[in-house]
Amino acid sequence: MSPSLQALRLPFDVFQTQKRMDDYGADDMQCGDLSELQLKNFYRLEKVSGQYDPWRAERTDFPISNYAVIRHKMRHHEVAAKLFNEFRRESRPFSFFGHRGLFMALIDHFQYGDGKPSSSSELNGAYKRLIESAHSDNANSSKVIDKFIRENIDWNNGFLAENKKQALRKVIGESFLPTFNRLQDKMNGLGMSVHGIYATKITLKSLEVNGDKYKATLHYKGQDHFGLDDRDIMVPRFHHLNIFRIWFVLQRWRRYAYKPFFTNMAATITLTGSKK
């Protein structure tokens, strides 16, 4: 049988970003690689918190009754714990609506997870809703796949031909991939939890053709990094916010070196349509 008459073998990996899954060499996956001097001089992080000084391991109190400043010596691990608490408090403006619990869980994982990958049903659900809500956009990846399947099914034989796979990959490469960059994501915690999906893989799991109707199943796998790189901290609008200064120091200072981690998400999407 010629390739034009062979059914596409499924499951078929329709798309994979150039950036790969499990990229431990990515800039935002580095930890414990910077000295105090580098953080102060190059990154201008002399002050990290309003009350806690990681460099001197001190807590500063400002009594209301007078102008005296009282400094208390602490252990470095105690300062780190306080900085994590401040990290959580400072996140409120970015996660007060919808998914604050998800971001709190990711901070906990950053503090205690020792760099192990993270996943959750809440994030998977948000990822699925993101993909489905964008399906009406003609340039969205799921919409592009849906349109391609409908227009390229061999209706006489009831399948998508093997020789169509490169054309399918090409149109997906020109489409928009799901990402949490909507206005609502800046306030609901998703923009902070997943501030850019680093790698995406899309698989066509199944395709059923019955008469003039079809049903296709897509599996999306996304991965982001819960970590900061140089570009994140040097952007002026982020550099002056304590939440990013604390995060960067906890991750990148040699004394702390809390490990960033992969945030995994997955969603299965069903596409249905007809020949007409």
**Size (the chain), residues:** 276
Average pLDDT value over all residues in the chain? 90
Q: Which two tokens stand for residue 140?
A: 């969205």
pLDDT digits (tens, 9 = 90+) for 140-160: 899 999 999 999 999 999 999
CB distance 233 to 244 below 8 Å = yes
Residue range 104-130: mean pLDDT, rounded: 95
> What pLDDT, on a 0 to 100 scale, did the predictor assign at position 68?
72
Q: Which two tokens stand for residue 188?
A: 């609901």
CB distance 174 to 141 below 8 Å = no
CB distance 267 to 243 below 8 Å = no
- Stated pTM of the model: 0.89
Q: Which two tokens stand for residue 233?
A: 């901290």
- Residue 66 binned pLDDT confidence (cut-offs 50, 70, 90): low
Give phi and psi for 263, each to the nearest 5: -105, 110
Residue range 37-61: mean pLDDT, rounded: 94
